[in-house]
Amino acid sequence: MSDANVKAETNAAPLNGTANGNENFKFDIPFFNIQAIFGDLAAPAATRAKANFEQMKATSEEITEALRRRAADYSTKVIEISNTNTSSALEFLSQLADAKSFADLVNLSTAHGRKTFEAASAQNRELWDLAQKVATETAEPIKNSFKRVLHRAA
């Protein structure tokens, strides 16, 4: 037996009352108006969802602006540090070229190493402070957004 020979039987009557196999059948299933049933539930949920999306968009814009400001500050500071370090290295090379003895080379190297270490420590502190400001300013809009949501829910 092939699938072509199998016929399904149904209790439904054809729309035009004839019983050949080419007719559309009308099933006795009641028609539910989904909008009428769920419309009262969906409208407030859609309104809340839209308000939440708008709030998330505003929060995202605040975060982006904070990142943009602080990223520019951070980039500027990195460029300043790079310039300072380059100037220091060139000055050190100039002093090495003027050194007259091995003892002068050792003294210059020791002094430059100490100076470089202290400068690097200070520069790292500055960059760390800027990174903390970025994190704080970026977290602030998120924190405020959560406060608004929790306040509304309470």
Spell out the domain ranges in the chain.
Answer: 59-153
Q: Centre a 10 Å sphere on the Cβ of residue 126 and count the other Cβ atoms it contains.
A: 15
Please tell me what DSSP assigns to residue 16. T
pLDDT per residue as tens, the chain (154 positions): 555 555 555 555 555 555 555 555 555 555 556 666 666 666 777 788 888 788 888 888 888 887 888 888 888 999 999 999 999 999 999 999 998 999 999 999 999 999 999 999 999 999 999 888 888 887 887 787 777 767 766 5
Dihedral sign, Cα of residue 123, residue 125, residue 126, residue 130: positive
Q: What is the 3-state secondary structure (H, E, C) of 17-36?
A: CCCCCCCCEECCCCCCCHHH
Beta-ladder partners of 35: none
pTM for this prediction: 0.55
CA 18 to chain CA centroid, nearest Å: 63
